[in-house]
Structure 1
Amino acid sequence: MHSSTARPVRRMPAIGAVVALAAGMLVTLAPAAHAAAGATLPFTSVEAESAASTGTRIGPDYTQGTLASEASGRQAVRLTSGQRVEFTVPRASNAVNVSYSVPDGQSGSLNVYVNGTRIARTLPVTSKYSYIDTGWIAGAKTHHFFDNARLLLGQNVQAGDKVAFESTGTQVTVDVADFEQVAGAAAQPAGSVSVVSRGADPSGGGDSTQAFRDAIAAAQGGTVWIPPGDYRITSSLSGVQNVTLRGAGSWYSVVHTSRLIDQSGSAGNVHIQDFAVIGEVTERVDSNPDNFVNGSLGPGSSVSGMWIQHMKVGLWLTGNNDNLVVENSRILDTTADGLNLNGTAKGVRVRNNFLRNQGDDSLAMWSLNSPDTNSSFENNTISQPNLANGIAIYGGTDIAVRNNLVSDTNALGSGIAVSNQKFLDPFSPLAGTITVDGNTLVRTGAINPNWNHPMGALRVDSYDSAVNATVDITNTTITDSPYSAFEFVSGGGHGYAVRNVNVTGATVRNTGTVVVQAEAQGAATFRNVTATQVGASGVYNCPYPANSGSFTLTDGGGNSGWSSTWPDCSTWPQPGQGNPDPDPGRNLAKGRPATATGSQDVYTPGKAVDGDANSYWESSNNAFPQSWTADLGSSYAVRRLVLKLPPSSAWGARTETITVLGSTDGSNYSTVVGPQGYRFDPATGNTATVSLPGGTNLRHLRLTVSANTGWPAGQLSEVEAYLTP
């Protein structure tokens, strides 16, 4: 069975250079801005970068394949042995869930402190479920760097108390902590059939598969009870119908399996609630049904109060799932989708769920075989899908996407995509009315590495056929999009039209390039769309392919802040290109795209502009000269460079011979400062300063290393460029 929605993406010819968001583009939204969108959650999240720490903050970074680019808020805190991050607890809590990353191949634990006192319990951390490679997906790089680990604290803490996490040896990057007051375990419902009474082992030592099957058979029309404990299931359940599977709460009743239910059909009336299903999926194999639910629960079913983690997909739904409700659940750390309505769904409601760290679309409807109809994604909170979209609608009839909060998409994704990309046949294109209402998108959109070109925060895509459905986009908030806010495109390169789009009542703040990115023929009407802090221009209106037909933007009134049009279809605007730099003290190189003539292992060019002096670029060894180049995004009169190596005594003093070159077009370079030896000494911070002559305008900065007394390669941990002498 095909079970992937990050299908290979056809290449769209490049319109401009790969771009990355400058660090200064990041803005944190006040909580009130999100009040109308997203799920009502039982926990409150606190970002590590806002906590007190003895560690090192990484990011912000929007470059595919970097750790910070997959972090919530594009920032996190790295802890080495003995370092801590200390959170101020935002609410009364007795439990915490932490999103973290450790280097590939490593595992360890974090010590936990409450108000300065170390508790007996530790928080385990591992790379086991991270670092996913999907070479069959065009443009995919190693991704899925973060994971989640949860802990009952064994005591109550109050708002204002301090909870700290300390590295015990393994380097750990902490992203975000979710603080929660977990209620006590629920009691067994009267008349229910306990899996323990049928031989299930709550210690997790024995195989409980047959006990679950026997309990389901005995409880037809009633409830199967899963008491507190850990249960191991070694093969999937099938023939599940007309039964409720209920646990004592998702922190207490835990089923360990990578395949809970796998069945192509069911009479329905299946209700699954209030327990956790935690799998052991460590890679993505699309032919394997490594899913919490694979196939059909049948009509009139529901999923509620679940904690689903370490699966390939949370719910991959085919067959008859009419009127299914999926609500109040958490889906974490899946190597592919969170949930996919894979055709035929009617009247399905997916609402008030929390999804984090998906390796594909977090929520998707894909109208394969027959259309998804009259179904909706409502009031869900989605964070950090690291390969595809937050929400994707691939075809279907009369679909609604309402009041969702999506943040921090990466690589091949928009916050919300409404698309006629079919992937396989038979496919049912968009039809009827597609309602996209009340959604908030934060730091969504990304460079598509196949297109060498960005995707907007909200995308309407006539990929394989024209969009003829009515698409109503209303009451949208788009904040801190690294590139564009609204994109209309025929991404397959066929030039199909995008028609019948109405954008009404949108607020766009701090978009990196443009408000509207129009690259298809067709039309859209805009009413009451206001924009502030627009990076380059209001509109980019350039048909793809060229001469394939124009896109008409109709001003329906009430629009403001985005009346200008990008004048040159031969170049893609860079983030912030339309505005003069307001901060002459800003490091112009931080976060910019970087390349090199060669790199050694993981020491890639981007390490020299990631804002972290501990990471570094190292060229190919024994092959001088070697060059490192950064695109600053616009031409600047750069007056000073600061070059760094890691500030560690392990890096002995050395001298590198470096030539500084500059270019305004990326092709023709001239020497700015001739070859000189620059001394790096750990006793003085391993830093060298290069003064550039006044009047030197450059966009592309190149450093050519011809010698190094400490190592047979060019080495740079940070290259900083400033307007000030």
Structure 2
Amino acid sequence: MNRNIRTAPPYPRRRPTTAVAALTVLATTLGVLAGAPSGTAAGRPAPGAAPVVTRAGLDPSLVTDRGARVAFLEQEAENAVTDGTVIGPDRTAYTLPSEASGRRAVRLVPGQHVEFTLPARANAITVRYSIPDAPSGGGITAPLDVAVNGERIRRMTLTSQYAWLYNQYPFSNDPHAGLLHPDWWITECACVPADTTPYPTITTPFRPSHFYDEQRLLLGRTYRAGDRVTLTVPAGSNAAWTVIDLLDSELVGPPRVRLRAANVLAFGADPTGRRDSAPAIERAIAFATRARLPVYLPPGTFQVNRHIIVDDVTIAGAGNWYTRIKGRQVALPTPAPDGSVHTGVGFYGRDAADGGSRNVHLSGFAIEGDVRERIDTDQVNAIGGAMSDSTIDGLHLRHTKVGIWFDGPMRNVRITNTIIVDQIADAVNFHTGVTDSLVAHTFVRNTGDDGLAMWSETTANARNTFDHNTVQSPVLANGIAIYGGTDNTVSHNLIADPVREGSAIQVGSRFGAEPFTGHLRITGNTTVRAGTYELNWKIGLGAIWFYALDRSIDARIEVVGDAYLDNTYNAIMLVSEWGVKDLYRIDGVSFRDIRVDGAGTSVVSARTAGSASFGNVDARHVGAVGVNNCGSFHFTPAGSEFGITDLGGNDGGWLADWQLPNTITCDDRPPVVPPPPPAGW
């Protein structure tokens, strides 16, 4: 989410080259804090072994028909050949393994390498990595050599300038900063520091996070399946360590050409990126609107440092590997009416208050921003405003605050086949009265807040669908979050590795959202390694969790056909905040045809009044009692305030007769038994 928080809720959110010796000292310190090294020497599989292709760190057979359709193949570094050190697994927040895909990665020191075998023909790669911060924050750059079949073809320059956040929400780039909110509860001291005498000492860097970034590279030619791609940290690198998380490989087609279009080069745009191309692009848009032509963005890098307002126009690039719209974040001389103190690269529809925009079609290019800190009042998103009857297809968005933030009322926007990575906050947020809209086959990785969200603040979102998307490693909050609304659908998504203060899927009555009404459908999704430890509550969340904070949740909610794999704590959680537990409840949620493969604690944790029904919910490898039913913690003689209805077919022994309909089985913090890796059912 994307808002200012002034008090301390249970989920406080919303959001130079130096001497090598000094840098190395701090890099080593931060490396220890962030999980390096914590594993064992790698080197397996042996050279020549078949490449291991995964999806969200899983065997692809476990996620058939779940998640986004993408052009690349994913290979985890821990499955590759290396003389480095495997770090992880670890799901503890503020560690490098916890934010890695699959919760493991490979740590290299100068001179070490990791080698991947291409599983298919490829001419492009994406490397997800982490390197240390600068001693005073702000990041460093460091080299990484890329070789194919032993021949070096390129030296990449890695950066940590867009990584390494610290402290409390909305975070700091300064590793030595004191508490941003001394009046908030701090679990590390079990106190509110401002109310404590003597004032407690907080070790810095405090709560480091958001460690990873990624870079894409065209290899210059097409290589065959079986060719070896080696990533080597050269001797003398100023990075004390380099962590490689994964490699995505892809066969990118040639640039697309549009001859019957307003080519921005004809209007003065500079494809080298040296000059500001925003005025030229705007001239091309104005001409194309009059002539009823599309705008064409040819291959190149085009510098844009502010919003380009779009309405009734088609803008197409040569493909997101070839056309880049790249800009700096620029401080405004005075704050804008919306509170922004910066502007930056972005394509924006008109404000909904001004009627919004319509018939906007954006496709085939990348937007790359320069956002390095979280300022919630800033409009520094890649795409924003209101765009009805519009499409967004085949974009690549990174290093902005939010990839796509739409403020309604607006209707009928379709976001498809888009990649959104390395965001300071959300990837996509439908905010306030977005209706009849779709996000499908969109791939999200490394957001600083919810991956995909519908937030019905002041006006309900209605009849929207999040379908066949992949969300990996949201550092803060949830993979997919629905905050109020009417008749929305979350279907066939793959959500993996949430890190803290959220989980894979949340249905939340919070942040001032309008109530849930109508029919909420959650169908056919798969989550893996989900269910984070909530720092303030000191409990584990569910892979899917329902949270009644602002009001009761009592709409028709059906969860059908989901698979919850390798859950850190609970698979399913229904909870109300302690201060309102006697005011609000969660009623009538229906769970059917669910598979739970591994739960560190329980299949279901109920910490609220209300009810739910379960039919054909199969579970195995459950660490504690199948149902941890605390109700609203009054422990009445009549049983728990949360009632469970057994609809039959619930296999695995997790829903025993003696637990029904509302037997109290409350263990406030049950011990965790890590489950085995998920496998075919």
TM-score (norm 2): 0.79
Which deviates the most, 427-436 or 399-408?
Answer: 427-436
**Contact in 2 for aligned 1:123/1:150 (Cα 8 Å):** no
Q: Secondary structure at the match of 2:540?
A: strand
- Structure 1 counterpart SS, 2:102: helix
The question of whether the paired residues in 2 share the 8 Å contact of 1:390 and 1:406 is answered with yes
Paired amino acid for 1:68: P
Q: Deviations over 1:168-199 (max 9, x none)?
A: 22221000111100000011241x11111111
Moved more, 488-497 or 266-275: 488-497
Corresponding residue of 1:388 = 477
Is 1:222 aligned to 2:312, yes or no? Answer: no
Residue 282 (structure 1) aligned to one of 348, 369, 372: 372
The correspondence of residues 77-88 of structure 1 with structure 2, limited to 5 A, is: 77-88=106-117
2:524 is the alignment partner of 1:438: yes
Aligned to 2:563: 477
**454, 461, 472: which one pairs with 2:547?**
461
How is 1:230-249 mapped onto 2 (pairs within 5 angstroms)?
Answer: 230-238=301-309, 240-249=310-319
Q: 1:144 aligns with which of 198, 206, 210?
A: 210
Q: Where does structure 1 lack aligned partners over 5 or more consecutive residues?
A: 13-19, 582-725
Contact 1:10–1:450 under 8 Å retained in 2: no
Within 2, Cα distance between the matches of 1:418 and 1:131?
A: 29
1:429 maps to 515
Pick aligned residue for 2:164 from 128, 131, 135:
131
Change (3 A) 1:335 1:28: closer
Measure the CA separation in 2 of the matches of 1:23 and 1:163. 23
| CA deviations over 1:33-89 (Å, ceiling 9, x no partner) | 101210111001000000010111000001111111010000000110010000111
Map of 2:72 onto structure 1:
43
Cα shift at 1:294: 2.1
Equivalents in 2 of 1:7, 1:385: separation in Å?
23
1:570 offset after TM fit, Å? 5.2
Q: Are the structure 2 counterparts of residues 7 and 28 from structure 1 closer, same or farther at C-alpha, using a change threshold of 3 Å? A: farther
Q: Secondary structure, in 3 states, of the residue corresponding to 2:546?
A: strand
In the TM superposition, what is the alpha-carbon distance from 1:385 to its structure 2 partner?
Answer: 0.2
Preserved contact between residue 510 and residue 532 of structure 1 (Cα < 8 Å): yes
Q: CA deviation at 1:292?
A: 0.7
CA-CA distance at 1:306 after TM superposition: 0.1
Change (3 A) 1:403 1:189: farther
Distance 2:600 2:112 in 1: 35
Matched with 1:671 is none
Residue 373 of structure 1 aligns to a residue whose secondary structure is: coil
Misfit runs of 4+, over 6 Å: 5-9, 565-568
Which amino acid in 2 is paired with 1:268? R
Tell me which residue corresponds to 1:516.
604
Per-residue Cα deviation, 1:215-252 (whole angstroms, up to 9, x for no partner)? 111111431110100000122112x1110111000000
Contact 1:477/1:507 (<8 A) preserved: yes
Q: Which residue in 2 is equivalent to 1:620?
A: none
Displacement of 1:259 in angstroms is 2.9
1:541 corresponds to 2:635:
no
Aligned to 1:494: 580
The 3-state SS of whatever aligns with 2:307 is coil
Q: Are 1:163 and 2:229 counterparts?
A: yes
* Counterpart Cα distance in 2 of 1:6 and 1:162: 49
Residues 144, 158 of structure 2: 8 Å contact kept: yes
Tell me the CA shift for residue 412 of structure 1: 0.7
Deviation at 1:9, TM superposition (A): 6.5
State the distance in 2 between where 1:8 and 1:436 align. Answer: 32
Mapped partners of 1:342, 1:259: distance in 2: 21
Instruction: Give the whole-Å Cα distance in 1 for the aligned partners of 2:4 and 2:93.
Output: 19
Q: Please tell me whether residue 334 in structure 1 is matched to residue 367 in structure 2.
A: no
Q: In 1, distance between residues paired with 2:69 and 2:444?
A: 13
For the residues of structure 2 that align with 1:6 and 1:99, how far apart are their CA atoms? 31
Aligned partner of 1:310 in structure 2 is 399
Distance 1:324 1:547 in 2: 48
| 1:721 aligned residue | none
2:5 and 2:315 mapped to 1: Cα distance? 31
| Equivalent residue in structure 1 for 2:142, among 108, 116, 134 | 108
Cα offset, 1:23, TM superposition: 10
Residues 259-294 of structure 1: CA deviation (Å, up to 9, x unaligned): 312431433000000000001111111111110112
Give me the whole-angstrom Cα distance separating, in 2, the residues matched to 1:73 and 1:215: 45
What residue identity is the alignment partner of 1:196? L
Distance in 2 between the 1:259 and 1:159 partners?
38
CA distance in structure 2 between the partners assigned to 1:336 and 1:573 by the alignment: 32
RMSD (CA atoms): 2.4
Q: Amino acid of the residue matched to residue 405 of structure 1? A: L
* Kept after mapping to 1: 8 A contact 2:401/2:425: yes
- Aligned residues of 2:635 and 2:664 also touching (Cα < 8 A): no
Q: CA deviation at 1:5?
A: 9.0
Identify if the C-alpha distance between structure 1 residues 246 and 156 changes in structure 2 by more than 3 Å, giving closer, same or farther.
same
Q: CA deviation at 1:404?
A: 0.1
Corresponding residue for 1:209? 278
Task: Give the CA deviation at 1:115.
Answer: 1.2
SS at match of 1:175: strand
Q: Does 1:551 align with 2:642?
A: yes
- The reply on whether 1:573 has 2:670 as its aligned counterpart is yes
- Using the size of structure 1 for normalisation, the TM-score is 0.74
**Structure 2 residue identity aligned to 1:112:** V
After superposition, the Cα gap between the structure-2 partners of 1:252 and 1:176, relative to the gap in structure 1 and judged at 3 Å, is same
Residue 486 of structure 1: SS of its match in structure 2? strand
Checking the alignment, whether the CA contact within 8 Å between 2:118 and 2:227 is kept in structure 1 is yes
- State which structure, 1 or 2, has the greater radius of gyration over its C-alpha atoms: 1
**What is the identity, as a one-letter code, of the residue corresponding to 1:218?**
F
* AA partner of residue 459 (structure 2): S
Question: For this pair of structures, how many residues does the alignment match?
Answer: 561
The residue type equivalent to 1:478 in the other structure is Y
- Once the two structures are superposed, the pairs formed by residues 328-407 of structure 1 within 5 Å of their partners are 328-407=417-496
1:194 to 1:57, Cα distance in 2 relative to 1, 3 A:
same
